[in-house]
Amino acid sequence: DAIWVRPIPDGLFIHFPNDPNSPYCLAILKNVQKIKEAIRHHLYFTLRKTQNNTTMNDYYFGLAYTVRDCLVEQWIQASKQDNLNNNEKTLYFLSIEFCMGKQLKMMMINLGIEDDIYQAAYLVSHFNSPTASVKVLHIMAWHFYKKLFDIEQYAYGFDETGYTAGCIIQSLANMNIATMSYGLRFDQGFFQQQIKDGCQKETLNDWLTGQQNPWEIIRSEIIYPVHFYGKTVEKQWIDTEIIHAVAFDSLIPGYYNQRINTLRLWTSKIERKFESKLATIQDILAQFKAETTTKDFNLLPNKASIHLHDDKRDFMFLLTILELMRLLIDQEHLSWNDAWSITTKVVNIKQYNSRFTMPSSYIKLLTLVLPRNAEIMNEINVSYYWEENILPLKQQLFHIGISHYRWLLKINPDLSDVIAKKIGLKWLLNFGEMKQIETFVDDEIFLNDILQAKEANKKRLVFMLENNYGIENINVKSLFYVQLKHIKDYKRHLLNCLCIITTYNRMKRDYQDDNSIIIPKTFIFAGKLLGLGLVDTL
């Protein structure tokens, strides 16, 4: 694959060669030696590894710690600057899942050190094989560089919610918006899939066993008690069970700016999805009290805005509102009206409905596990919704989209190169500049370059399918139809299969006409089977 390198000062774009055997002319930058020394430092002092027992996994961690070191100081300075900007509002972004993808390459793009890392890999290869030729060393460095990105797979989630959340918080950092993101730190990721005899075999993805995530830092001093069960007596919650949520912080750097936001995930001995919401609200209020001297909670809407991303989980929306109300009333001793006024200004959701489209089992669960929150919910319903049964609030939800840094700059460097050569680099900082492409819709050279980039990507996909799955004879010139979804009936895989049959029958019919043009098509399905439904399994 082409490896994207950040633009050098004169505005040109550089690529590492697609073929490791091709001539390599990229100059070694002045900090390459320092990067190599930093990697070796972490291998020896952090991981306690020497040249004789260092594995590829160790090299990955050594490189990850080196890249993280470059960002931590900037991370601290960004946090200090946010504390000094008392008039700046902080966005608090809450989601159950965060799928951030391969963080190492994204960090390298933001730092602009991809070429330095490759050169450091070249020096490491030379150190391990001092007698090898330059050509062999470049091949070794290339494969070494590639394998580093194959190791990493940290995913706190498994579906569109997690991927969209990852794109949103990355875009917020790129837009230089002060953001604290919150979620749950899962010890086990989505199951690993193996296909044997045409059937799916699941294995446990216990990805934190025996190793740590190099991008996170445990904050053992940030710990909050989370209460469950018990009972309420005269609006007092007593006889509760308590578990403690501990914070793990990860950095989310912006592109070409000094912004580094924080992703804070909660962990405990007992993992519950709603535990993260309960600890998060406590942390938000604690930050507000630490930053203000008056402790006037009427100022909270000027300092904090809570956005919830769990749009398919109404229960989590409800829980955030109820927990903020509970803390303001029970711990901060605000009146009911003041607490409700603050909550409706701070929490940004589409609407609050007394039924909230939840099954009755959720209400029973809330009453059992969080009786005080359930009591507040009943009071809200009685106090505000006896007339219209609904209260519209501010509609400030994020729409599903992508981060062009992640899904264009990082994933598709060939296409990024074509675009940059035509309209420059401003679209990296302001995606609205991408509209300039419309002026080249009739430019044959530009369109041909796009087709070549697309064909190069298709060739890489075909190569991967042939080598990893034994799927041969794929026509690269055909139209690719890809459905990348979990295998569930509501994802309409069966409808897609019917479309394939219909397309095939039409092609057979049209083939009998000598004047017809047959366009070859390739249909590709990818996904994991969720559940054991008959239709899904078939």
Mean pLDDT of 66-76: 82
Tens-digit pLDDT profile for residues 416-449: 889 988 888 788 778 888 899 999 989 999 999 9
Per-position DSSP letters for 75-106, written without gaps between them: HHHHHHHHHH-TTPPEEEEE-S-EE---HHHH
**Residues facing residue 495 across a β-bridge:** none
Write out the two tokens for 203: 């294995």
Q: Which has the closest alpha carbon to 108: 410, 425, 404, 408?
A: 410
446 with 505, same domain?
no
**What is d(CA 474, CA 465) in angstroms, rounded to the nearest whole number?**
9
In the chain, the percentage of residues whose pLDDT exceeds 70 is 72
**What is d(CA 129, CA 132) in angstroms, rounded to the nearest whole number?**
6
Burial class (CB in 10 A: 0-12, 13-18, 19+), 517: exposed
Q: What is the pLDDT of residue 449?
A: 92
Q: Report whether 96 contacts 273 (CB < 8 A).
A: yes
Most confident of 8-17, 98-107, 304-313: 98-107
483 with 507, same domain?
yes
Q: What is the pLDDT of residue 91?
A: 92
486 with 455, same domain?
no
State the DSSP H helix or E strand holding residue 140, giving kind and residue range, or none if neither: helix 134-151
420 with 515, same domain?
no
pLDDT for residue 73 is more than 90:
no
Residues 6+ away with beta carbon under 8 Å from 267: 184, 185, 187, 245, 246, 248
pLDDT for residue 358 is more than 70:
no
Average the pLDDT over each of 47-56, 92-101, 401-410, 480-489 and give the range with the smallest value. Answer: 401-410
**What is d(CA 407, CA 447) in angstroms, rounded to the nearest whole number?**
20
Average the pLDDT over each of 272-281, 357-366, 405-414 and give the range with the smallest value. Answer: 357-366
Q: Give 278 or 30, the one with higher predicted confidence.
A: 278
420 with 525, same domain?
no
Q: Report whether 306 contacts 348 (CB < 8 A).
A: yes
Return the ∠ at Cα 371 (arms to 365 and 372), rounded to 5°: 140
Q: What is the pLDDT of residue 26?
A: 30
Q: Say if 61 falls within a structural domain.
A: yes
Range of the domain at 143: 1-84+102-153
In the chain, the percentage of residues whose pLDDT exceeds 90 is 17
Q: Report whether 162 contacts 97 (CB < 8 A).
A: yes
135 with 8, same domain?
yes
Per-position DSSP letters for 57-71, written without gaps between them: HHHHHHHHHHHHHHH
> Residue 349 — very low, low, confident or very high, per pLDDT cuts 50/70/90?
low
**What is d(CA 323, CA 339) in angstroms, rounded to the nearest whole number?**
11
Q: Report whether 250 contacts 265 (CB < 8 A).
A: yes
Tell me which of 429, 449, 468 is where a domain ends.
468
**What is d(CA 227, CA 239) in angstroms, rounded to the nearest whole number?**
9
Q: Say if 359 falls within a structural domain.
A: no
Tell me which of 414, 440, 468 is where a domain ends.
468
521 with 443, same domain?
no
pLDDT for residue 500 is more than 90:
yes
Q: Say if 420 falls within a structural domain.
A: yes
406 with 538, same domain?
no
Q: What is the DSSP letter of 403?
A: -
519 with 496, same domain?
yes
23 with 125, same domain?
yes
463 with 482, same domain?
no
Q: Say if 335 falls within a structural domain.
A: no
Q: What are the two backbone dihedrals, phi and then psi, of residue 307, each rounded to the nearest 5 degrees? A: -115, 135
Q: Say if 318 falls within a structural domain.
A: no
In angstroms, the first-to-last Cα distance of the chain is 35
Tell me the average pLDDT of the chain. Answer: 76
Q: What is the pLDDT of residue 362?
A: 72
Tens-digit pLDDT profile for residues 220-258: 899 999 998 899 888 889 998 888 899 999 999 888 777
Q: Say if 491 falls within a structural domain.
A: yes
Q: Give 395 or 473, the one with higher predicted confidence.
A: 473
Q: How many domains does the chain have?
A: 3
Q: Say if 300 falls within a structural domain.
A: no
Q: Say if 462 falls within a structural domain.
A: yes
490 with 449, same domain?
no
In whole angstroms, how large is the CA radius of gyration of the chain?
27
